[in-house]
Structure 1
Amino acid sequence: MTDSLKMAALDQTDLTVLSALAQDSLTKLDQVEYDSKRGRVTLTLNRYVWEKKGALRRFFAPKERRLSALNIDRVTAARRKGMEAAATGGVLSLLAITFSDSGEDHSPSGTITLTFAGNAALALDVECIEAQLTDVGGVWEASRRPRHAGDGLETGEAG
């Protein structure tokens, strides 16, 4: 896989790019692991490949998903909200990854929030931003492109 993705995020700008690349990734709650001793949260994702040439075209866009891993390090605490459906085997669709700082002067600490469809969220208190998104395996054709309000596809147009 010569075109596989490997990206690190060490600040808010990097995390914004990583969030865009991970948008519409699918996972299940049993594919989210928190290792409190190592301070690491790992998510196994079925990532939609937005960066592929032509992926943003409305029609005849290549539709591809890849098996990816999202690692977030320096985690001191983890909380989840609204994941009841996911706890019973439901799929989580990642919408965004954001960071809010702790408000302490010159401190890189804060909270990384992974927001999922259906008002579900995973909030991770971190010492600093240290995250990696890496394609780790299989590539397959997606059945359809993810739909978002305002892209002309929410009414069922082909894409």
Structure 2
Amino acid sequence: MSDDKPLKLRARDPADMDVVAALLQDALVPLGDMKYLAKEKRFVLVANRFRWHGDPAEDPRPAAPEPQPEGEDAAFADEAGTAPPFERVNSGLCFDKVARVRYRGLAPGSKDEILSLLTITAQPDAITLIFAGEAAVRLEVEAIRCHLEDIGHPWPTRWRPQHDWEPAVAEKASENERS
């Protein structure tokens, strides 16, 4: 487990939101932990954030654990001294000055649904949280006022999110370098 300090950031413009989006890529967000507080003009959520460190295309660690021999329990494999190489942490995300919230592809009443956050896009007057399965939440804002803060301590995990496009991105980058 890492001894890094908890993350605590503010975002005030679209460029700042690009940083927040990168940090929250592949976060798991329970729909029941997402709420619009209209009287306060605030939208809040709690995300189970994967702690990305560096470029995933250059990360030599496997995206998933090696298959265990039949009958071997994962708990016994951990006792062999190989600590899980990745971490997740709960993070609170708060947007202030939110005038209106629109939902697409999800039902806010489905409290048991867990969404996978792909990215966040930002314009001076709107922020869109884009989730897997073509779901999205659009926040119409008076100004970008975002706060991201880790809640609690990170915990170890063996699972790193995998993207089908990662090799294509690396290949495209190397093609651009050759040009």
Match of 1:22 among 9, 13, 24: 24
Match of 2:159 in 1: 144
Q: Tell me what 2:97 maps to.
A: 74
User: What letter is aligned with 2:153?
Assistant: G
Residues 28 and 86, structure 1, Cα contact 8 Å, conserved in 2? no
AA matched with 2:33: Q
Equivalent-residue separation in structure 1 for 2:144 and 2:87 (angstroms): 28
How far apart, CA to CA, are the structure 2 residues paired with 1:126 and 1:75? 4
Q: Which has the higher helix share?
A: 2
Number of aligned residue pairs: give it.
143
Larger radius of gyration: 2
Matched-pair identity in %: 38
Which gives a bigger RCO, structure 1 or 2 (Cα 8 Å, sep 6+)?
Answer: 2
Gaps of 5+ in 2: 64-84, 168-179
Q: CA deviation at 1:91?
A: 1.1
TM-score by length of 1: 0.81
Deviation by residue 1:21-51 (Cα, 9 ceiling, x = unmatched): 0111101111001111111111101000013
- Residues 63-102 of structure 1 show CA distances to partners (whole Å, capped at 9, x for unaligned) of 100011011111000011101498262210001111134x
Paired with 2:13 and 2:122, the residues of 1 have a C-alpha distance of: 9
Corresponding residue of 1:125: 140
Is the Cα–Cα contact under 8 Å of residues 86 and 92 in structure 1 kept in the other structure?
no
Give the corresponding residue for 1:8: 10
| RMSD, aligned α-carbons | 2.2
Kept after mapping to 2: 8 A contact 1:94/1:115: yes
Using the size of structure 2 for normalisation, the TM-score is 0.72
